[in-house]
Structure formats: C-alpha cells, structure tokens
C-alpha cells in the first residue's frame, strides 16, 4: 500500500504498510502541514460550520495555532459573536473570518465554499439537546440532516471533498457492553442520535459512490473543560442539560444545588459513569484527523474518548477540589433514557491517528472553573 501526498509536497510519495509508519508520516505532516517549499504558509483554508459553538471554538483556536486559515460559518443559534472576538484575541491570528449563516441556506453555503477557496470542512453545526429532539423531531431532522445534505451537495459542486463530521457516542444507543468499540452496532435510542446516524449513513453512501472523498465520522464521548486561558468555554443557554456546566453554575452561585439523577445504578457509588473528555483533547483529535485525511483518501469512523469513566459523585468531588467551592446536591430519581455506564474504546484513534487524550479529570474541572469564574454569565454580558 502506498500513500501519496497529493496536495502538499507535490512529489513526495510515502510507502507504508503498517501503523508504525503512520506515526512517522503524521509527525512529518505535523511539521510540514502548513509550509510550502519556501517555508511560508500555504493557503489551507478550513470552513468550520458551528465554529462559534463550544467544541468548534476550541478547535478553531487549534487550527489557527497550527497555521491554517479558518472561516467560521455559524447561524449563532446557540452561540455568540463574542466568541469570534475572543478567538482573535486569544490567537492574535489574522487568518480568521466569520460568516453568519445557516447551513440550510444553499446560497450562503455556496458562497462561503467558493468565494473563500475552502479546502476542507469541519462540520460541527447542529442541534444537540436530546430531550428537545424528542419533542421537536422535525426541527432536528431539518437542521441536522437536511442542513448536512445541503452542505454536502454544495461541497460536491465546488469540488471540496474533505469533511470531518461531529458524530456522537449517542449513536450506539444501549448496547450489551459498556465499552463501545467502533464495530459496536449503532442503534440510537433518541431522535438526536438518529440524526447523527443518518448523517453518518449518508456520508458512508457518499464515499461508496465517490471514492475520492475523504471523510471522518468522529464519535465524541462527553466533552467537558475549557481553554486554559479562561477566555472561551461552554456557554449553554437556559438551564444546562449536562452535568459539568450545571456543576459550574452551582459553584459560581447561579444555581443553588445539583440534582443527581439516581444513586441506585449498578455502579460502585450508584451514580452514572461516563467517559469525560477535555475539549482541548477533542480539538486536537480534529487536527490529527485533518492531517490524516490529507494523506489518505479514506473514510474513518473513530471514537474520541479517554477510555476511562467517572461517576457523578467523582465529578462533584473533583470540581470541589478544583474550585474550593462546596457543590450542594440532592439525589433525585433517574433521568429517563440515562444509562448506568458507557465509555469509549479509544484504541483505534490512537492506532490510526497517533492521537490520545492527555488531560485528566482535575484539569477538566480546573479549566471549567477558570472559565466560569471569569465569565459567570458566559458570553451574554459581552458585546
């Protein structure tokens, strides 16, 4: 098997047949990704849909720091324009553009792809509230599925064939085992998860019909944490659905106490176990994926998690340690649809990309706390 770097070094051909070589190749591309022969920056421009959101904004910072140009395309339905200013401040980069637009708006997507001379797309844009997806399914199918189809059709027309898609561990549903491997048959148990699986299926079909496409389906486990500058972080609107942002709001005094959803699960302390992954590790996974797709026209399906799970009580304790604040909580009934435990088998991502999550639970809590302490109202008080 041989891989050719078609876009970067032009003539370089790399012969490889095993994963040790992958490490070497990735190291080469990490060094040379953005440089041409004279050592100046290449015109690599990435369109990041949903780039003003939580995971998107952290990924944009790392893309800019790697020397890439970025166009954020976001309708700001769950984010703020202030994020873009924060990213500019953080990186000092002049290579960031922002387009306020909706992925379902064909003309806007076409202009963004064509006018900006985009080489690859990282597709975060989507709605993600599981409960809302059950009560407003059409909103989710329209936004997440129809929006993705419009984006892909316009990519096809503009000959852009590299895409990294934000999928989710939710696609697995409720399998027999708690450790999810990429081969675990997907069977999502809610509308949100089904929208993710449908887009995965669309991309798999696209790859079959257009073998030159370079596609990654990244299944995130539970993203938490924030950039260590305290300038960007998760900024949920209304009452947070998820554990870490809720705890952060309790710590900062916005909410009185946390409801722990059940302590009668078959787990060591009775509360739910999850694979929490630092958003900075997740962002690094996207950069590694883009680098890999650049050298290999393939379709990747990868878990991005740590492989380790923590209980709700573990997270409360770690957050109290990081913040020095007590987190009052009350145990209430189980939340419908919750599972006792699940976590990633992250070994395939390490084998293929050479990527592995580095940051532990203490860093996840410390960085979340720094962000929340510095921005108790999130971005809402920032012009």
Residues of the chain by 3-state class (helix, strand, coil), percent to 5: 40, 20, 40
Nearest to 8 by CA among 61, 283, 28, 47: 28
Q: How many residues bind ligand UFG (CB under 6 A)?
A: 20
Nearest to 334 by CA among 253, 245, 267, 234: 267
Give, in degrees to the nearest 5, the angle at Cα 117 between 201 and 35.
Answer: 100
Size of the site for ligand NAD (CB under 6 A): 27
From the list ligand NAD, ligand UFG, none, which binds 147 (C-beta under 5 to 8 Å, kind-based)? Answer: ligand NAD
Mask 120-139, x = binds ligand NAD (CB under 6 A)?
A: ----xxxxx-----------
Per annotation, catalytic residue among 192, 220, 276, 342: 192
Verify whether residue 180 is a known catalytic residue: no
378 binds, among ligand UFG, ligand NAD, none (CB under 5 to 8 A by kind): none
Quick check: 169 binds ligand UFG (CB under 6 A)? yes
Rounded CA-CA distance 335/354 in Å is 37
Give the closest residue to 62 by CA, choosing from 289, 310, 238, 334: 289
Q: Which residue has the tokens 């990186």?
A: 91
Site for ligand NAD in 201-230 (CB under 6 A): 220, 223
Among 59, 143, 144, 168, binds ligand UFG (CB under 6 A): 168
Alpha helices in 171-241 (DSSP H): 191-209
> Which of ligand UFG, ligand NAD, none does 130 bind, CB closer than 5 to 8 A by kind?
ligand UFG
Among residues 113, 151, 226, 243, which is the contact residue for ligand UFG, using CB under 6 A? 243
Please calculate the CA angle 142-145-150 and round it to the nearest 5 degrees.
Answer: 90
- Tell me which residues in 285-324 interact with ligand UFG (CB under 6 A): 312
Q: By beta-carbon distance, which residue lies closest to ligand NAD?
A: 53
Give yes or no for residue 241 binding ligand UFG (CB under 6 A): yes
Contact 339, 187 (CB under 8 A): no
Task: List binders of ligand UFG among 321-350 (CB under 6 A).
Answer: 335, 338
CB 283 within 8 A of CB 58: yes
Q: Which helix (H) or strand (E) holds 328?
A: none
For residue 340, the SS3 value is: coil
Q: Measured from the CB atom, is 101 or 305 closer to ligand UFG? A: 305
Is 121 an interacting residue with respect to ligand UFG (CB under 6 A)? Answer: no
Binding mask 79-108 for ligand NAD (x = CB under 6 A): x----------------------xxx----
Contacts to ligand NAD by CB under 6 A: 49-50, 52-56, 74-79, 102-104, 124-128, 143, 147, 166, 168, 220, 223
Indicate which residues carry an active-site annotation: 192
């Amino acid at each position: 098997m041989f891989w050719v770097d078609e876009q970067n070094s032009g003539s370089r051909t790399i012969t490889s047949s095993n994963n040790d070589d992958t490490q070497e190749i990735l190291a080469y591309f990490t060094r040379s990704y953005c440089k041409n022969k004279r050592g100046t920056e290449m015109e690599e421009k990435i369109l990041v849909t949903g780039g003003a959101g939580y995971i998107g904004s952290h990924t944009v910072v790392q893309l800019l720091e790697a020397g890439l140009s970025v166009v954020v395309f976001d309708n700001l339905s769950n984010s703020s324009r202030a994020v873009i200013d924060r990213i500019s401040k953080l990186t000092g980069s002049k290579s960031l553009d922002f387009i306020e637009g909706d992925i379902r708006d064909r003309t806007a997507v076409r202009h963004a792809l064509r006018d900006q001379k985009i080489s690859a797309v990282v597709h975060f844009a989507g709605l993600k509230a599981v409960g809302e997806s059950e009560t407003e399914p059409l909103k989710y199918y329209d936004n997440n599925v129809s929006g993705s189809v419009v984006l892909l059709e316009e990519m096809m027309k503009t000959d852009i064939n590299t895409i990294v898609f934000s999928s989710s561990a939710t696609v697995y549903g409720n399998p027999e085992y708690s450790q999810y491997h990429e081969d675990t048959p997907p069977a999502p148990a809610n509308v949100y998860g089904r929208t993710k699986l449908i887009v995965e299926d669309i991309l798999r079909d696209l790859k079959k019909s257009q073998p030159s496409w370079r596609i990654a389906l990244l299944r995130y486990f539970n993203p938490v944490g924030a950039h260590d500058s305290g300038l960007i972080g998760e900024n949920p609107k209304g009452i947070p659905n998820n554990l870490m942002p809720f705890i952060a709001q309790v710590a900062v005094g916005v909410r009185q106490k946390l409801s722990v959803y059940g302590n009668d699960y078959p787990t060591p302390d009775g509360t739910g176990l999850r694979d929490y992954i630092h958003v900075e590790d997740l962002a690094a996974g996207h950069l590694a994926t883009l680098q890999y797709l650049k050298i290999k026209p393939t379709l990747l399906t990868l878990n991005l998690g740590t492989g380790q799970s923590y209980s709700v009580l573990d997270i409360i304790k770690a957050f109290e340690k990081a913040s020095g604040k007590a987190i009052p909580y009350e145990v209430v009934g189980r939340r419908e649809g919750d599972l006792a435990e699940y976590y990633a088998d992250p070994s395939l991502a390490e084998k293929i990309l050479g990527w592995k999550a580095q940051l532990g639970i203490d860093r996840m809590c410390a960085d979340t706390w720094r962000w929340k302490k510095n921005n108790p109202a999130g971005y809402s008080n920032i012009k």
